[in-house]
Amino acid sequence: MQNIYPKLRKADILVLATPVHSILPGGMQNFINRLVPLIEPILECRDGRTRARCHEYVKIKKILAVVVGAWYEIENLELPVKLIEEVAETYSINYSGAILRPHAYFMRGDSEISKDIHQKLEEVGFKFIEEGLLKKEDLDFISQPIGNGKKQRENSTNHYLKRKEEQGLS
C-alpha cells in the first residue's frame, strides 16, 4: 500500500476492480479500508447521511467500478457495485458507473464474442480516460448474456458431480 499512496495522490480516476467472491473478496475491502487516510475528517451531513471529503491534495475526480463474476445473472454483481457507489458517496467523489461481466469464464476462450467484448472493453477504457464518459450501449455490450443460464448451471454441477464420483466421494 505504501507504494500505492503516491500513485493515489497523482491519480484523477480511481478504478476499483474486483471479482465477486461470496460476495466481496477480502482484498477489496482491505484496500478500501486503507483509502481512509485520503479523507480529511471534517464530517458533513448530505441527504441525511454522514459523509466526508478527501484532503485537498487528492485529485481523484471519478470512481469507476469493474466487477466480474462466474455466475450467470448480472444481479450477482450488485453488492460489490453498491459498495463502490458507497465509497464514492462517502468520499464525495463522482461515481461514474460500472463495467460488469457476469459468467466471466466465457472470456477465457477465443470465441468471436469474447474477442469482441475484449475489444469493446479496451475502447471503453480509452474513451473513459479521454472523455470521462461511459455509454450505456457499450456497457450493455460488455455485460451481454452469453449462452444459457440453465445449461451453464447444469454443466457446472455435472462437472462437479463427475469429479466427485472420480474421486470416490459420491
The site for ligand FMN (CB under 6 A) is made up of 19-23, 68-71, 76, 104
Nearest to ligand FMN of 25, 132 (CB atom) = 25
Q: How far is the CB of 56 from ligand FMN (least distance, A)?
A: 36
Nearest to ligand FMN of 77, 88 (CB atom) = 77
DSSP letters, 50-75, are: EEEEE-TT----EEEEEEE-SSSSGG
Q: How far is the CB of 101 from ligand FMN (least distance, A)?
A: 8
Q: How far is the CB of 70 from ligand FMN (least distance, A)?
A: 3
- C-alpha R_g of the chain: 19
Nearest to ligand FMN of 68, 84 (CB atom) = 68
Nearest to ligand FMN of 78, 89 (CB atom) = 78
Dist CA 52 CA 84 (whole Å) = 15
- Residue nearest to ligand FMN according to CB distances in the complex: 69
Q: How far is the CB of 63 from ligand FMN (least distance, A)?
A: 20
- HEC profile for 4-56? HHHHHHHCCEEEEEEECCCCCCHHHHHHHHCCHHHEEEEEEEECCEEEEEECC
